[in-house]
Chains A and B, each alone.
Chain A
Amino acid sequence: GQNIDQPTEMTATEGAIVQINCTYQTSGFNGLFWYQQHAGEAPTFLSYNVLDGLEEKGRFSSFLSRSKGYSYLLLKELQMKDSASYLCAPMDSNYQLIWGAGTKLIIKP
Chain B
Amino acid sequence: IAGITQAPTSQILAAGRRMTLRCTQDMRHNAMYWYRQDLGLGLRLIHYSNTAGTTGKGEVPDGYSVSRANTDDFPLTLASAVPSQTSVYFCASSEDSSGANVPTFGAGSRLTVL
Chain A residues close to B by CB (< 8 Å): 4, 30-31, 33, 41-45, 48, 50, 87, 89, 91, 95-102
Contacts and interface: CB of A to CB of B under 8 A. Distances in A.
B44 interface: yes
Given A30-B98, A41-B108, A99-B42, 5 more contacts: A42-B90, A44-B105, A89-B42, A95-B99, A97-B43
Nearest to A49: B100
A30 B105 contact: no
A42 B98 CA distance: 21
B106 A95 contact: no
Interface residues of B, number: 21
B1 interface: no
Interface of B: 35, 40-45, 48, 58, 90, 97-100, 102-108
A87 B41 CA distance: 11
B105 A42 contact: yes
Residue from A33, A44, A96 with most neighbouring chain B CB atoms (10 Å): A96
B44 to A, nearest CB: 7
B44 A30 contact: no
B14 to A, nearest CB: 24
A43 B99 contact: no
Contacts of B106: 42
Residue from A91, A95, A102 with most neighbouring chain B CB atoms (10 Å): A95
Nearest to B31: A95
Contact of B43 (A30, A31, A41, A43): A43
A96 B102 CA distance: 12
A30 B99 CA distance: 6
